[in-house]
Structure 1
């Protein structure tokens, strides 16, 4: 599961603990520098820490960049004769860079493909080992003349830190996989529920038209009139049109939606009044809207208003507009509230998923997203014929 181009908002939410931790460690480490030349390490440490924080956007690229940065820091410190003072098992890399490397490895294991995770981890380990070994002679030559590196201690420490990094990444990867499975199951359930709602509407619409056909046929049989044939043909055509619009959607599940009357505008007004929201309505319907399509429009309006109630605060206005032209019905629901979360859930489960499923099954298009500076927008374009 390769994670690339992670949203900045999600990145900040996910990475702020790491950013705070690395910043604190780097500040403490910088404060312990006893030589003037030691300050040359600060820019390199800052670059390495920033790469670790941004790693979820492009994990493998971040691993390569971090390895290159660590190697460059080690080389220029060696050329300047500057040492990172030894702490526990670290000498040539430093605690903050070691922490950044651990975080990057954990991100690789969590987000990258297995091949890239292994390759990236090996590259980071090689760079860290290079920095450590390159820093040993300088550390021993300066204030720490009695200091002597213990290879076994470094190897043991490296293995322990590697296990911690990989284990952390595997834990979060398993958790992400579980959440993805739950989300997929919820989306499938929402789609099935929406299809079942359409199937129930298909039953109601076809039953209505077939009943009309039967009544006209019986009347014609009793009165021997020929004039009923156009009515029968018209009802049959309307029934076939409704079936073509809704057929193929029958699935197991259940969903409740608003009932449609003979006036779509009155039904929308009723929904707006029931919501308790400050709704402003706008109608410009140039074409007659079939009842089966009106039901779907009402469902979309209902879900949109429900999402506004559940997921927005400080709402001062909700604009609901219905218009038609060139055989297409246009619906727009816009609010100016402050979102408390992405309004995925709705009255029937995953509301946005259900609305998109309904619009696409009817041959239309659907879109939803945030407004600037605040608010949420829902738009649907549905074919009338």
Structure 2
């Protein structure tokens, strides 16, 4: 079978979702690929504001001086009027630069203020001077820092103010329209006729004036749209990066929580496994040692048998504990075989030797060829008999019944209750919890509680399957 050639590698995206750095959370500055200059300006926004003001001041000063020079050259204006107009033009330039210093903190207020200043400049001088340039920077700040509804509302207010003022008060002479002198024939007759020159603006009749103002409004609209578009694009990129950063940090928090939960679950699992593996063996060992001590003088042979069983049980418990702890060994310690159905007879005999009168039926039942289910059966039987040995000392009979139906394996352990006072045996109920969990893994049920006629009853049902599970495959 031939394989298709591997496609060309795609460009690698910025490592935003790779996870936060060790010991902290991922920040937007870490997620963005910035050079040293841009990183400096991101960390020092005041320096960026100063650069914006400088970028505005250099060309705006030339525009303001040019407009003022046009006003000064107008012979029909008085010196006082010229001084006022020049002051308005240069003052608007200064106020525009000052206002830009607040554009990051109060962008909507700064934009509205600059739109009003532009309208006043048009009303007083007939020219926006350089204030409209500052208005574009301010409009960019609104789009970059405010939601679309606020942005377009501010944009509408600004274009209405500036566009209305332009249509009403723009002075074509102040904005740079060229005028020429055209000779006009005299309308009076006589020998003293002298040609009279009338200053006529080139192409500046009423229709041309309206068209000129419409062009000016269109240019203002275009510049503000460009500034708004750039600001909106920058804001969307910031929001996108911030969303990726938040998702990455949320995934990191979930990962840490899952790791903590997994560690806690693993500790609990190990504790219950240790309980299932070792506790019943230790209980049998205690019973065997007590029995050997009682029979030591009266029945030495029985005491010797009990001591031999005690030694065997201790070695078995040690081997089981090593097997459980070997799971935690990073080097992969060799594991002993898991207990299966063939170990049930030896398990019951061990409890009988410890003095528990077990009446067992169905130990020769053939269990399904599923290792996990066989282990579960072994652990449930061991836990149920351990509880009887620990909490029902002197009971005259313990009935163990193991049966297999067409769809399940049933385990039932009954005891007649203790005879005499029950010594405190300790325990935290982990054995019963372990039985319920083992049954739940196989979709079964586990019931444990007192019997109406006295004693204790444990019944566990483990469903069987006829198909091979994924793990076995």
Q: TM-score range by the shorter chain?
A: 0.3 to 0.5
Ranked by relative contact order (alpha carbons within 8 Å, sequence separation 6 or more), the top structure is: 1
Structure 1 or 2, whichever has the larger Rg, is 2
Q: TM-score, length-normalised on structure 1?
A: 0.45
Which protein is richer in helix relative to its size? 1
